Structure 1
Amino acid sequence: MVCQITQNLTLYETDPSVKLVILKGNGTVFCAGGDVISAVTSSLSGHWTYPASFYKKQLTLDHLMATCKKPVVSIINGVVMGGGAGLSMNTTFRIVTEKSFFAMPEISIGLFPDVGASYFLSRLPNHFGEYLGLTGRRLNGAEMVKCGLATHFVPSKKLNFLENALQNVTTSDISTVTALIDKFTETAYLMEDSPLKRLDKINKFFSKGTVEEIILSLGKEIEINGAEKWITDAMTYMRTSCPTSLKIWLRSVREGRSQTIEQCLLRDYNIMCHILRRTVSNDFYEGSRAKLFDKDNKPVWDPPKLEQVSEEMVNQYFEKVEDENWECLQFPDRSNIPSKL
């Protein structure tokens, strides 16, 4: 699928008859996972470079999508997680509906929010990106629009009409396409329990320097003001997720805040290769076993506690992979560097 999308998108870029590209799911979801299980099985049955080779192609497609010379309209009518977020979150237009929801729950299986998440999540308000990556919190369509992950909210009953209108567009002009989509757009409203109504507190807690300090500040908040559900949910998620992954994400998202999409994707590739290679630990394979294969939901992390994950251990994930089988990721030159978020 990655190879087919890459081939088609490359052709569309240079085809003068193509004015824009529509990216959508085939069914009740947009795109959610699907690559993790195959990555684990191919690695365990062969060599860690098997999934690394796929991952290189996936990130190259993400880069192509983010720098596409034609407007790309992602119609997200359903679940968008993981690899699906990498495909859609850097496109020109990101349309969601009342059926949409977004999440990056990779930390719970010993991974980290990747595929450019340190770029598009770091550009959300204040430290909301840290919050989403550390807690795996799901956002609905309205929340995606309000925080900036999506550009338009269109009720699902209007999607066929919108798509028909888009197919008749005769220009690649962004303002023209925007005006067309605006005709189908409706106002999205937040629910009372939305974390976006608690941005001040989220910024206060998730701006702390370390994961340990974030958890400590949340615990103190419960002691002083009582247990709000969003806080207890966040603490439960972080306390059961991979300690090393939590620290990788916090560093990654903060580095990404001042970097380009290309730099973020290159870092993702390095980190993922270390994870696949088990440079530091076996956490990804153990998390996949517990969550996706045996499904006992009892992963044994190594190290098991945050305070046991040293800065030196985290640093290794951000360094070059010293392995004769490792291949560096290089993107083709692109003249259309994005400023879409």
Structure 2
Amino acid sequence: MALSLTFVREINQVLFIGNSGVKEVILNRPQKLNSLNHEMVSQMKEGLTLYENEPSVKLVILKANGKAFCAGGDVISVITSSVAGHWTYPASFYKKQLMLDHLIATYKKPMVCLINGVVMGGGAGLSMNTTFRVVTEKTVFAMPEASIGLFPDVGASYFLSRLPGYFGDYLGLTGTRLNGAEMLKCGLATHFVPSKKLNLLENALQSITTADMSTIATLIDKFTDEIAYLKEDSPLRRLDTINKCFSKGSVEEIVRSLEKEIEVNGAEKWIADALSYIRASCPTSLKIWLRSVREGRGQSIEQCLCRDYNIACHFFRRTVSSDFYEGSRAKLFHKDNKAVWDPPKLELVSEEMVNQYFREVEDDNWDCLQLPHRSSISKL
């Protein structure tokens, strides 16, 4: 794996602006699709903590510059730091990222997230637990981690497990992309605002003088007068079939159920796409996600984030295999899309292999994630 280094320091990767009552936190790494690195996470955590403790601040707006909201964590920097140093380097960054996600999920003041563009992986961790999640016709959501040998994380087992039926299980196993209308219909978003009205909404929000949730919701509602229509081929229109197939107890059973659907009802595109993604993705990652999302249904955000940290550290440390590094090589470095997974097939991933990822890491350099006890305002 060839690594390249640059010593040019990126500046102003997060911008903090606003008036005394309304603050804006703006991701400002558009040339990298606002992918999160250690500095961005550190700055955001510091800024948001400051705003939370400032009595004059009533509302925080979270947004991004460029065509993407946030395409995820900066996996390339995670891989390079690990390969060039020690597996605990990415673990340190990841711990801080999860602590930021927890801060946002338990934030004591209303937060409006304006999601105009791609939101994946780490970007979902930032946005999906904010009070108000505003999407547009340009929004694209996905959790494609299994395709690079990781798993849907950053609290996905919490916010995806709470979607209708087994729709969240489906999203994590298939990497399916949703548009803004679909996000609104399934509950990932609270409001759909046409992108041409986003600046008007933002300007209106800056005049807010109260932290009252209903007042803020009423203001946002004024800009949501266009109906968000579901496309005819939207997977949300196939929720009955998704529930039937993705409620099965194992990934292998889910695959067989999808194959049977094709035999009985013909090859619908969404089923073919789902099977294609599953067959190309890391078998171990898929099994980890299914167990994780099932456990997450009855757990708190804290439990889900702590489990994510455990699992990810096993991936970083290569406790069971090097799938995360191999998947990143194939997708992000060499870009040949020819990852060689270990094990290579679902049926070869034993229950004991999966169990290992859910145990604490036995390493002198490792401690489990400790999250502070926080009570937050209620979310919509």
Q: What is the TM-score normalised by the length of structure 1?
A: 0.98
- Aligned residue in 1 for 2:242: 202
- Aligned residue in 2 for 1:301: 341
Alignment of 1:267-278 (within 5 A): 267-278=307-318
Within the alignment, does 1:224 sit opposite 2:264 as a pair?
yes
- Aligned residue in 1 for 2:184: 145
Give the match's secondary structure for 1:332.
Answer: coil
- Higher relative contact order at CA 8 Å, sep ≥6: structure 1 or structure 2? 1
Q: Which runs of 4+ in 1 moved over 3 A?
A: none
- Aligned residue in 2 for 1:180: 219
Q: Which runs of 5+ in 1 are unaligned?
A: none
Distance 2:59 2:356 in 1: 41
- Aligned residue in 1 for 2:134: 95
Q: Which amino acid aligns with 1:313?
A: M
Q: Which amino acid aligns with 1:271?
A: I
Q: Which amino acid aligns with 2:153?
A: D
Q: How many residues are treated as equivalent by the alignment?
A: 340
Distance 1:27 1:285 in 2: 29
Contact 2:69–2:119, Cα closer than 8 Å, also in 1 = yes
Contact 2:73–2:123, Cα closer than 8 Å, also in 1 = no
After superposition, the C-alpha distances for 1:158-213 in whole angstroms (9 at most, x for unaligned) are 11110111111010011110011001113210000000000000000000000000
- Aligned residue in 2 for 1:161: 200
Q: CA deviation at 1:34?
A: 4.4
Distance 2:189 2:214 in 1: 17
Q: CA deviation at 1:292?
A: 0.5
- Aligned residue in 1 for 2:6: none
Q: CA deviation at 1:327?
A: 2.2
Give the match's secondary structure for 1:30.
Answer: strand
Within the alignment, does 1:79 sit opposite 2:118 as a pair?
yes
After superposition, the C-alpha distances for 1:229-267 in whole angstroms (9 at most, x for unaligned) are 000000010011000000000000000000000100000
* More off after superposition, 323-332 vs 270-279: 323-332
Distance 2:155 2:378 in 1: 14
Change (3 A) 1:316 1:75: same
After superposition, the C-alpha distances for 1:54-97 in whole angstroms (9 at most, x for unaligned) are 00000000000000001010000000001110000000000000
The partner residue of 1:17 within 53, 56, 74 is 56
Distance 2:353 2:47 in 1: 41
Q: Which amino acid aligns with 2:223?
A: F
Distance 1:252 1:57 in 2: 21
RMSD, aligned α-carbons? 0.9
- Aligned residue in 2 for 1:59: 98
Give the match's secondary structure for 2:68.
Answer: coil
Q: Which amino acid aligns with 1:252?
A: S
Distance 1:340 1:134 in 2: 26
Q: CA deviation at 1:340?
A: 2.8
- Aligned residue in 1 for 2:89: 50
Q: CA deviation at 1:339?
A: 5.1
Give the match's secondary structure for 1:95.
Answer: strand
